[in-house]
């Protein structure tokens, strides 16, 4: 019994330590990306994230889809979208001519600007994660992908 309890305690600890490390690594990389996006492109990480999501959706996305994809609230996305529209980088439209299905999509100018930023972003990530060899990166990605469970799908 004692060893079973000890094992449970260790298990908890391993997952909690992993979570704290995931959080710290992610925040440190995000801080780097934030600084580099500001320096190189005078833009922000949330703007980049919105443009990245729309770049994967040539037919555009509804605001609710965009929020769910980014895992942030609709309210947060609205202000970013409005500024990107006024900057001419994204445009509003309707899906399949359905006036109830309002969508946003990248403009050609937005797509061009995003391609330049995405290439820099990929180089930065490769540099920041350089100590992790590609095979290990693949293993960790597989573990974390397999772990997408019910609660993530619902999120």
Q: What is the helix (H) or strand (E) element at residue 78, kind and residue range?
A: helix 74-86
Site string for a copy of itself, 65-84 (x = CB under 8 A): ------x-------------
Instruction: Assess contact for 90 and 53: CB atoms under 8 A.
Output: no
Tell me 100's DSSP state.
Answer: T
The residue from 39, 86, 96, 147 that contacts a copy of itself (CB under 8 A) is 147
Instruction: Assess contact for 11 and 19: CB atoms under 8 A.
Output: no
Nearer to a copy of itself, 26 or 92 (CB): 26
Where do we find the tokens 């445009």?
A: 91
Instruction: Assess contact for 93 and 110: CB atoms under 8 A.
Output: no
The residue from 1, 15, 99, 100 that contacts a copy of itself (CB under 8 A) is 15
Nearest 5°: CA angle at 53, between 47 and 54? 90
Quote the least distance from Cβ 29 to a copy of itself, whole Å.
7
Beta strands in the chain (DSSP E): 90-94, 102-106
The residue from 10, 39, 97, 99 that contacts a copy of itself (CB under 8 A) is 10
The residue from 57, 91, 120, 128 that contacts a copy of itself (CB under 8 A) is 128
The residue from 6, 31, 88, 116 that contacts a copy of itself (CB under 8 A) is 31
Gyration radius (Cα) of the chain, Å: 20
Examine residue 23 and tell whether it contacts a copy of itself (CB under 8 A): yes
Interacting positions 36-55 with a copy of itself (CB under 8 A):
none
Q: Which residues of this protein are in contact with a copy of itself, per CB under 8 A?
A: 10-12, 14-19, 21-32, 71, 122-123, 125-126, 128-132, 134-138, 140-141, 143-149, 151-152, 155
């Amino acid at each position: 019994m004692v060893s079973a309890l000890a094992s449970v305690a260790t298990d908890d600890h391993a997952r909690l330590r992993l979570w704290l490390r995931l959080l710290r690594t992610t925040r440190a990389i995000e801080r780097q990306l934030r600084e580099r996006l500001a320096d190189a492109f005078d833009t922000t990480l949330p703007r980049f994230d919105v443009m990245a999501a729309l770049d994967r959706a040539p037919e555009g996305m509804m605001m609710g889809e965009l929020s769910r994809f980014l895992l942030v609230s609709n309210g947060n996305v609205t202000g970013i979208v409005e500024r990107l529209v006024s900057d001419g980088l994204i445009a509003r439209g309707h899906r399949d001519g359905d006036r109830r299905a309002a969508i946003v999509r990248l403009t050609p100018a937005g797509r061009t600007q995003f391609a330049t930023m995405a290439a820099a972003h990929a180089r930065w990530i490769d540099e920041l994660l350089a100590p992790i060899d590609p095979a290990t990166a693949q293993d960790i990605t597989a573990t974390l992908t397999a772990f997408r469970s019910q609660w993530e799908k619902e999120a």
